[in-house]
Amino acid sequence: MDFKVPQLGICKIKSPLQLSKVQGDNIYDYIRDDERILYDTRLESYMQWIKDGTLPLSFEKAGPKEYLFFNPSKIKAAIITCGGLCPGLNNVIRSLTYTLHYRYHVPEIIGFRYGYAGLNPEYNYPKVHLTPELVKNIHLMGGSFLGSSRGNQDTGIMVDTLVHEGINILFCIGGDGTLKGVQALYEEINKRKLHVSVCGIPKTIDNDINFIEKSFGYETAFTIAHDIIRSAHNEATGAFNGIALIKLMGRDSGFIAAAAALSIQEVNFVLIPEMTFDLHGEKGFLEVLKNRLLHRQHALVVVSEGAGQFFFENMNMKHDASGNVKYEDIGLFLKDNIQSYFKMLHFPISMKYIDPSYIIRSAPANANDSKFCNQLGQNAVHAAMAGKTGFVVGYWNNQFTLLPIPPTVQQRKRIDLESGFWYNVLEATGQPVSLKN
């Protein structure tokens, strides 16, 4: 797999950062072009590479470079946010603006409103001139200061807008669909032989971007879910045979549900998109849930929004503006089936159903996510100023990395049901390894 990040040209302009190239002088060193981060750090893999005489898979290390491609004083940068809302969007906008202004002294920074639609003159959305004074407090708020939108726009028209506005660097903050848009922009810009850098900053609370250890917003999401689950647990234990069912975000990956359950240690069942399960039968979910109530008189169930979609396979699939399949509501499906099942058994229950999804994604970033967003923004600026393009800023083995777009959008990152992480969840919940007959 090719992890080579595209480069606009030779870097000849000395960086204004005044960092070091000498170890031991207590000054941060510039990142060399040959510094890379290993994908697999296991000893057995290392021994196999030696045996095969091959180079291990690795990612380019992110960070400030000694020489730049762009002259900071003569460029114009722009920022957009795309897709659904996510904790930390404003933190990244602020970090990009501060780094461009204070570290590189870029004279003009533009915010295009409402995602890729802001690059289409047809909508006539007003631009925002971003300054440190304007963005100094936006990190304290949830949502996106620039607004967001879903859906594709004509790539040619968007590149025309960048050319017309004199944009040299475009930062695109978003998830899988946004990164595919970054790749399309890169290809069109490359075809026109333009010196414009397009950069992706990964945003998804689902934490499902491939080859990236974590994306911003994810930690805030499961932290808020932790508090909601605690309250739901109080509801469940407050009634005889109380059941609390919580639906959390997670279209194709169940990281939020799994991490939240692992963090609070009160959840009894976690149902995620990566697993299949039966409703009925001796080992099916409803029978196991009944046995839980017989023994403990309460149960707490957390389900990811993308779980159990196999129950709806015969229904007509619909798509949203970004081309994603609109999933059926597994939360309401489970609620109805739980109530029907126990009614049929004449088994009294007290049912509470909670869907906090949009509250979670609109919240401000927590402290650790805020720190992470700031670092993502800084590393995106460093890479773009050095002429990197068609890339996304990643995070792997506790290091910030740069990756070309294609590998990150080939497939979604998902929970490995044979991983230690999922086993930890099973230990915390006490649910069976399988809910299949």
Please give the share of the chain, as a percent, with pLDDT higher than 70.
97
pLDDT, residue 245, reads: 98
Identify whether residues 110 and 246 lie together within a single domain.
no
* Overall domain count for the chain: 2
CATH assignment at residue 305? 3.40.50.460
pLDDT digits (tens, 9 = 90+) for 330-379: 999 999 999 999 999 999 999 999 999 889 999 999 999 999 999 999 99
Identify whether residues 422 and 394 lie together within a single domain.
no
CATH assignment at residue 106? 3.40.50.450
Q: How far is CA 99 from CA 131, 132, 211, 271, 385, in A?
A: 11, 10, 26, 41, 11
Q: Where does residue 30 fall: left (phi above 0), alpha (psi -120 to 50 degrees), or beta otherwise?
A: beta
pLDDT digits (tens, 9 = 90+) for 62-78: 999 999 999 999 999 99
Residue length of the chain: 437
Identify whether residues 185 and 38 lie together within a single domain.
yes
Task: Look at residue 328 and tell me if it is in a domain.
Answer: yes
CA dihedral 222, 211, 392, 84 (to 10 degrees): -30
CA nearest neighbour of 82 among 151, 138, 129, 163: 151
User: Which helix (DSSP H) or strand (DSSP E) does residue 380 occupy?
Assistant: helix 367-385
pLDDT digits (tens, 9 = 90+) for 150-205: 888 999 999 999 999 999 999 999 999 999 999 999 999 999 999 999 999 999 99
Placement of tokens 């095969």 in the chain: 52
Task: Look at residue 437 and tell me if it is in a domain.
Answer: no
Task: Look at residue 357 and tell me if it is in a domain.
Answer: yes
Catalytic residue among 206, 208, 252, 369: 206
pLDDT, residue 318, reads: 73
- Given a cut of 90, whether residue 320 has pLDDT beyond it is no
Residue 2 known to be catalytic: no
Task: Look at residue 298 and tell me if it is in a domain.
Answer: yes
Task: Look at residue 2 and tell me if it is in a domain.
Answer: no
pLDDT, residue 315, reads: 66
Identify whether residues 294 and 249 lie together within a single domain.
yes
pLDDT digits (tens, 9 = 90+) for 369-417: 999 999 999 999 999 999 999 999 999 999 999 999 999 999 999 999 9
Task: Look at residue 333 and tell me if it is in a domain.
Answer: yes
Identify whether residues 352 and 378 lie together within a single domain.
no
Structure tokens at 326: 């609109």
Distance CA 125, CA 127 (A): 7
pLDDT digits (tens, 9 = 90+) for 222-261: 999 999 999 999 999 999 999 999 999 999 999 999 999 9
Identify whether residues 156 and 257 lie together within a single domain.
no
pLDDT, residue 151, reads: 85
Identify whether residues 51 and 199 lie together within a single domain.
yes
Identify whether residues 257 and 302 lie together within a single domain.
yes
* Helix, strand, coil percentages, rounded to 5, for the chain: 40, 20, 45
Identify whether residues 224 and 273 lie together within a single domain.
yes
For the entire predicted model, the pTM comes to: 0.94
Pairing of strands 13-14, 67-68: antiparallel
- Given a cut of 80, whether residue 316 has pLDDT beyond it is no
Identify whether residues 180 and 227 lie together within a single domain.
no
pLDDT digits (tens, 9 = 90+) for 142-151: 999 999 998 8
Angle CA 173–178–179, to nearest 5? 95
Identify whether residues 97 and 201 lie together within a single domain.
yes
Which residues span the domain enclosing 311? 220-362+417-429
- Given a cut of 80, whether residue 321 has pLDDT beyond it is no
pLDDT, residue 170, reads: 98
CA 154 and chain centroid, separation: 24
Task: Look at residue 376 and tell me if it is in a domain.
Answer: yes
Distance CA 90, CA 239 (A): 41
Per DSSP, the three-state class of 397 is coil
Task: Look at residue 142 and tell me if it is in a domain.
Answer: yes
Identify whether residues 404 and 421 lie together within a single domain.
no
- Given a cut of 70, whether residue 322 has pLDDT beyond it is no
pLDDT digits (tens, 9 = 90+) for 270-312: 999 999 999 999 999 999 999 999 999 999 999 999 999 999 9
